[in-house]
Structure 1
Amino acid sequence: MVITTAGAAACAKCKFFDNAEASADLGLCRYNPPISQPSGEAAGIWPKVEASDWCGHFEPVAA
């Protein structure tokens, strides 16, 4: 079993992190499908995350 620390598993290093946001410190987590919105006219959105965040779904970016 490999133990990964939070720093090594940061969102910025994850293949599901989309840093298309205006800030280098923010991005979108593309692991799950978009979250639906209460209004039927509003499109779903992916969760915004910080590059230093981490979670249990981490997969490293392929080199």
Structure 2
Amino acid sequence: MAQSVSCNSCAYYEDHIANSTKVAENAGLCRFNPPVTQPEPNARGLWPVVTASDWCGHFSTETRN
């Protein structure tokens, strides 16, 4: 059986609260890249929000040092 390569099985996926302190249904944060900056100078950066079934070329079953 082939392994799923979707975000929810990636080592860099965090499935609890998406940026707004609300739990987003079927969504989480991608922790592979740093947070994305916002257009306002005083705004904090936000982690990209992805759905559990999304995927990308950075998929990893283990975190790398």
CA distance in 1, matches of 2:62, 2:9: 6
Letter in 2 for 1:56: G
TM-score, normalized by length of structure 1?
A: 0.80
Identity %: 42
Residue 43 (structure 1) aligns with? 44
Residue 11 (structure 1) aligns with? 7
Q: Runs (4+) of structure 1 moved beyond 4 Å?
A: none
TM-score, normalized by length of structure 2?
A: 0.77
CA RMSD of aligned residues (A): 2.0
Q: Mark the runs of 5 or more structure 2 residues left unpaired by the alignment.
A: 18-22
Aligned length in residues = 57
Letter in 1 for 2:6: A
Q: Mark the runs of 5 or more structure 1 residues left unpaired by the alignment.
A: none
